[in-house]
Amino acid sequence: MTSTPPLTPPNRFCNVAVVGAGYVGLPTAVTLASFGHTVTVAENDPTRLARLRAGQPAIQEPDLEPLLRRGIASSTLHFTPSARTAASDADVIFLCVPTPQDLDGSADLRFVQAVIADIAPVLRPGAIVVNKSTVPVGTAHRVADLINRRDVVVVSNPEFLREGSAISDSLHPERIVVGCDYAAPAYVVAGLFAATNAPVLITDTATSELIKYAANAFLATKLSYVNAIAGLCEATGADVGDLVTGLGLDSRIGAKFLNPGPGWGGSCLPKDTSALSVTARASGFEFPLLDAVIATNDAQFDRTASKVLSLLDPATPSRVAVWGLTFKAGTDDRRDSPALEIISRLQASHVTVTSYDPTVDASLAASDLAGITLFNDPYEAAEDADVVVVLTEWSEFARPDWDRLANVMRQKSFVDARNVTDPAQAAAAGFTYLSVGRREVLNPDFLTTTTRSKEEQA
């Protein structure tokens, strides 16, 4: 079933509960509150809850804090430790709890199940429970079975926001997808987002659930493809920068999401591709393309670590300074960060690793950073290092002070695994320099590659 919901939703403003104030829940809550809905957020971490009540976001996202404070000030946004309290008064309950990766790669639904067990008895007749977290195909039906009430409906409404632009993506989504086996609740959920004016797709729950996985797996495919092409550029002497420009000008391919790097990571792409692969296997469907996408990413981590190791003398103790620890720029999130994958490969080769990341305080004792000597300054991290490697594309890494770096390092070697620095500047400062699939030695006679728009050419 695909249809367009009415422009005016049946209830203009609703009482909404959002369970879980993480990267999906909090942006969803502040956005819905900014549209005029009354939103109660349930967060069971006491520290996080206290901060939120004081108007301090528990996660680092641009534009989040002002919306949070505005919601609190206008009494459209409330916080409670109890999912049961939040859900008991709500017309619509968004489940935004984590769905981590289980040992076999599938999605672990233990948090979803615990919330359902807690709230099912107190839901109002006619309440709509919405799966916003990324959940495997069939979860809406499983949740409906767990709730086991004929007067409550379960809807799938996947979230497509990106970390680092979560608020902008929530206020201006490219689409709203709603999956439901009944039309009326689907219209209510779609109507909550009427202020966004985004295109709405209403479909069945299985299709809606699968759209989210298909989107993330497609993005991962694009990245594994471009990383493999970058490797081919290195093998053939071609330049991946010009190559992706040439690719991206084809509107069927599109210019976005084509930057090669150290491999893709984060809280979504790795776990969602693995979960989709498990779903395919469990459904008896062969999906070798997806398995190759995941394997290509592991190979990219290996290739990046090997590039760094190729610049070290295996006979002497080595030190590598890693610039950037988060899985991408613009977030403080290090979950499934490519940087940590590559660091563990370097450490396995007995390399001493120092690091600087603008979101990491050097006094931080985080378990994922064990064995890494942290600094609050990139040049301090680079002191006595044999190689500096850029693993996150923070803009402050784009123009290093090459002379200063040369002065503090033991050996002048630099690996840019995000292609943010200028190879010519590195060469001018006497650095041995490697990046990803780029022509690193530039022929001065070579014309600078340019692309001109049709307007410019006219």
Q: Which residues bind ligand UDX (CB under 6 A)?
A: 159-163, 216, 219, 223, 257-259, 261, 264-269, 327-328, 338
Choice among 14, 180, 233, 268 that is catalytic: 268
Nearer CB in complex with ligand UDX: 413/419: 419
CA distance 33 to 174: 20
For 354, counting Cβ atoms within 10 Å of its Cβ (0-12 exposed, 13-18 middle, 19+ buried), the class is buried
CA distance 55 to 65: 7
Nearer CB in complex with ligand UDX: 259/373: 259
Report the sign of the C-alpha dihedral through residues 333, 339, 341, 344, in that order: negative
Distance of closest approach, residue 396 Cβ to ligand UDX, in angstroms: 16
* C-alpha distances out from residue 215 to 103, 109, 431, 451, Å: 23, 20, 40, 30
Distance of closest approach, residue 38 Cβ to ligand UDX, in angstroms: 26
Distance of closest approach, residue 149 Cβ to ligand UDX, in angstroms: 30
Report the sign of the C-alpha dihedral through residues 339, 165, 94, 269, in that order: negative
Pairing outcome for strands 352-356 and 128-131: unpaired
Distance of closest approach, residue 82 Cβ to ligand UDX, in angstroms: 27
Residue closest to ligand UDX (Cβ): 268
Nearer CB in complex with ligand UDX: 76/106: 106
DSSP letters spanning 392-437: S--GGGSS--HHHHHHH-SS-EEEETT--S-HHHHHHTT-EEE-SS
CB atoms within 10 A of CB 88: 17
Distance of closest approach, residue 10 Cβ to ligand UDX, in angstroms: 28
For 359, counting Cβ atoms within 10 Å of its Cβ (0-12 exposed, 13-18 middle, 19+ buried), the class is middle
Catalytic site includes residue 96: no
**Nearest one of 348, 353, 355, 349 to 315, comparing CA atoms:** 349
Distance of closest approach, residue 416 Cβ to ligand UDX, in angstroms: 13
DSSP state of 84: H
Nearer CB in complex with ligand UDX: 231/338: 338
Nearer CB in complex with ligand UDX: 123/325: 325
CA distance 430 to 263: 28
Where in the sequence numbering do the catalytic residues fall? Answer: 268
